[in-house]
Amino acid sequence: MSTLTVPLLLSSPIDDARHLHRAFKGFRSDKSAVINILAHRDAAQRALIQYEYRALYAEDLPTRLSSELSGNLETALLLWMHDPPGRDAMIVRQALRKDLLNLETATEVICSRTPSQIQVFKQHYYAKYGVVLEHDIELRASGDHKKVGLCFLVLAKALIDNKVHLGVVEFLCSNLGF
C-alpha cells in the first residue's frame, strides 16, 4: 500500500492550472502529474484550479480531463472535481438512468448522508438536472429501493424543518414493513 505525502508548500491555483495544461501537452498526457496535482488539493482548491484553468485557457477542466483520460482514472478524477453534494447528485442521477439503472448505488448514497447533507445534495440535483430528486426516484426506482429512498428524503426534510410527526414516521415505517 502506498501513502501520499502532502507538500509543505502548495502552489497557487494559477500555477496548478498551468502545470495541468503542460501535463496535457504532447502525444500522451502526463497522468502522474495530473494525479499528483489533484490528489494534493481539497475540493475548494480544486474548484479554484478549475476557475483559473477556464480563465487562462477558455476551456473547462473536467472536459479536458475527459478528453485526455479514460477508464476508471477518468471516472475517479471527474467525480473528484466536484464538491461532495455535486458529486452525490451526479452519482445518484447516473444510478437512476434507464439504461444503467443501479438502485443499490442510489440507495447507498441517500441512506449514508445526514439530513442536512441530503437537503444540500437535493438542491444541487435540482439545480443541475431541473427535476426534483423525489420525482426521479418515484419514476425510476421500484420495490424496497423506492420505499427506502423516498422515506429517507421525506424524513430528512422533516428533521431539518423540525416537523417530525409521529404519525408520519409510523406511516412510513409501516409501508416499509417495519
The Cα-based distances of 4 to 1, 8, 24 in angstroms read: 10, 12, 23
Per-residue pLDDT tens for 5-51?
A: 555 567 899 999 999 999 998 778 889 999 999 988 988 899 999 99
Task: Give yes or no for residue 174 having a pLDDT over 80.
Answer: no
* Region 125-135 average pLDDT: 94
Top pLDDT among 80 and 61 is at 61
Task: Give yes or no for residue 84 having a pLDDT over 80.
Answer: yes
d(CA 157, CA 118): 8
Per-residue pLDDT tens for 51-68?
A: 999 999 999 999 999 998
| Spatial CB neighbours of 82, under 8 Å, sequence gap ≥ 6 | 43, 90
Task: Give yes or no for residue 172 having a pLDDT over 90.
Answer: no
- Backbone phi and psi for residue 171, each to the nearest 5 degrees, phi listed first: -60, -45
DSSP 112: T
Instruction: Note the pTM of the prediction, 2 decimals.
Output: 0.74
> How far is C-alpha 154 from the chain's CA centre?
21
Residue appearing with cell numbers 508548500: 9
